[in-house]
Amino acid sequence: MIEFKDVHKSFDNKQVLRGINLTVQEGELISILGPSGGGKSVTLKHIIGILKPDRGEVWVDGQFVPKLSRLELQELRKRFGVLFQSAALFDSMSVKENVAFTLRMHTKMTEKEIDHRVAECLDQVELHGVEKLDPDELSGGMRKRVGLARAIAMKPDYILYDEPTTGLDPKTAIIIGELIARLQENLKITSVVVTHDVKLACGISDRIALFHEGKVAAVGAPEEVSKGDGEMIRKFMEGQL
């Protein structure tokens, strides 16, 4: 379980998080939805200890993240897979080497075992025969899928998605959304999706947390949030914010 308790965060006197309270339950897929600059990605970075709150508490499975040592943070992060907004592939490495990167760093797997795990992960994201390709030979959607294959390589308990459909055409965005939903069902993991894509959030989420001005304005099942009474909620769900 992931829990935020009254989390505040500022940068250069600009307050980004203004008292976030949110609980992510084991096994659910929750989307953090909101306009750009609303603190969504900043919230993700608190979960794995890249950022520390100015005030408040961040807990992951009973661990108080801001007080973890470097070694403890390293161990915690091994339990997370992250799909970055840009996919963040290493351009100097092939697809195979990108997916194998964390396996080489954090396991003692043999080359044969690594080859098998890479092929298994690529199969799970529906990519075949691309192991020898370089990232610049891939389409945007394929790069996202390779990034996702790398994210699941260590068999994480959690996956964090940072704007997984940004920069993709509508058809490819739908494909990525469907893939996220299938992985959630097949891997039985806990997922947090940061997005401003209303259609994606409503289509894949167990719950949505709607952020506005650094706070959780609404949280609930997609149909509950989309039918919220607040004027701000209505405007955002209709694409006016």
Q: Taking 80 as the threshold, does the pLDDT of residue 233 lie above it?
A: no
- Residue 23 corresponds to which tokens in the numbers above? 């609980």
Q: Apex CA 93: angle with CA 88 and CA 95, to 5°?
A: 75
Q: What is the pTM of this model?
A: 0.91
CA distance 143 to 198: 22
Which residue(s) pair with 55 in the sheet? 8
Considering just the CA atoms, what is the radius of gyration of the chain in Å? 18
Long-range contacts of range 108-112, CB-CB < 8 Å, 24 or more positions apart? none
Q: Average pLDDT, stretch 44-72?
A: 96
How does pLDDT run across 170-194, given as a tens digit for each residue? 999 999 999 999 999 999 999 999 9
pLDDT grade for 145, boundaries at 50, 70 and 90: very high
Q: Average pLDDT, stretch 25-43?
A: 90
- Residue 128 φ/ψ, nearest 5 degrees: -135, 140
pLDDT grade for 94, boundaries at 50, 70 and 90: very high
Lowest mean pLDDT across 37-46, 113-122, 133-142, 225-234? 225-234
Q: Taking 80 as the threshold, does the pLDDT of residue 227 lie above it?
A: no
Q: Taking 90 as the threshold, does the pLDDT of residue 150 lie above it?
A: yes
Q: Average pLDDT, stretch 15-27?
A: 96
Q: Does domain 2-79+157-237 have CATH number 3.30.420.40?
A: no
* pLDDT score at 13: 86
Q: Would you give the DSSP letter of residue 156?
A: -
Residue extents of the structural domains in the chain = 2-79+157-237, 93-155
**Percent of the chain having pLDDT more than 70?**
94
Q: Taking 70 as the threshold, does the pLDDT of residue 230 lie above it?
A: no
For the chain, the average pLDDT equals: 91
Classify burial at 223, counting beta carbons within 10 Å of its beta carbon; exposed 0-12, middle 13-18, buried 19 or more.
exposed
Q: Average pLDDT, stretch 104-123?
A: 94
